[in-house]
Amino acid sequence: MGESQKNIVDIDDSLRLVGTAHISSASVELVRQQIEEWKPDLVAIELCESRKAALLEPDALDNEDLLKILNEGRSHMILLQSALAAEQRRMGIASGEKPGAELLAAIEAADEEGIPVELIDRDVVITLRRAWSKMGFREKFRVLDALLWQDDDEEDASVEELLEDSDMMSNLMEEAREVAPAAGSVLIDERDAFLAGRLQQIRGKGKVLAVVGAGHLSGVQHQLGEPA
């Protein structure tokens, strides 16, 4: 079975999950193909309004008043978001693809076909705040150390190979859970449940194509009551 087919799961005749890599040209093509060929009535996307705005205007954070951020006690949130964004940009440069391109492609393709879009992820600020609050000092240090000081010269697996293989994506998320178990439960398990819950809410709206990160595919499938 090809990698693209491994990342497509039919829950039933009216709900299809497509697992994507957030930094992969192949995922962009897969998303567009599925929208054009499966012809859903609704496209659900693993985004919240905040992340959608960040993808559409990636420099928006740079324009925000830093003094206001500090006064509101959000400096740790900005640090964590910036570190995560820097890591995605690094991987994006390596793969030649803009981070989140497949999510923007899903929105654009749906708009071109006149198909409504539903954002189904929990707000990223809430997610990061919960993850940060659950972590102890050592976990916070390990997470920031891993994100900020990773050696770019280390020999890694091919970016395309890494991102196109859903099993590898799952393994990466499990490795992240090992670094910070408390954060992992929020970033992975809670979001799997949230995404599945939102999909349950919209399942009666005709054929629904849900675009989610490949690392969430098995978890969302499990939450929907289907064997992964």
pLDDT tens, 51-70?
Answer: 888 777 765 555 454 445 44
Predicted local confidence at residue 132, as pLDDT: 80
Phi-psi map region of 72: left, alpha, beta (phi>0 left; psi -120 to 50 alpha): alpha
Predicted local confidence at residue 162, as pLDDT: 47
Rounded distance between C-alpha atoms, residue 71 and residue 34, angstroms: 45
Dihedral of CA atoms 79, 84, 85, 88 in degrees, nearest 10, equals 160
Q: Which residues pair with 208 in a beta bridge?
A: 15, 42
Predicted local confidence at residue 101, as pLDDT: 79
Least confident of 164-173, 179-188, 217-226: 164-173
- The per-residue pLDDT for range 166-179, each reduced to its tens digit, is 454 555 566 667 77
Task: Judge whether 121 and 196 are in contact, CB under 8 Å.
Answer: no
Predicted local confidence at residue 115, as pLDDT: 97
Rounded distance between C-alpha atoms, residue 75 and residue 129, angstroms: 11
Structure tokens belonging to residue 46: 């693993």
Residue 84: pLDDT over 90: no
In this prediction, residue 13 has a pLDDT band, given cuts at 50, 70 and 90, of very high
Looking at residue 131, its amino acid is A
Least confident of 17-21, 58-62, 157-161, 209-213: 157-161
Structure tokens belonging to residue 112: 């071109």
Phi, psi of 119 (to 5 degrees): -90, 125
Query: So where are the chain's domains?
Result: 3-223
Task: Judge whether 207 and 42 are in contact, CB under 8 Å.
Answer: yes
Q: What is the mean pLDDT of residues 125-141?
A: 83
Residue 161: pLDDT over 80: no
Predicted TM-score (pTM) of this structure? 0.78
Structure tokens belonging to residue 224: 């929907």
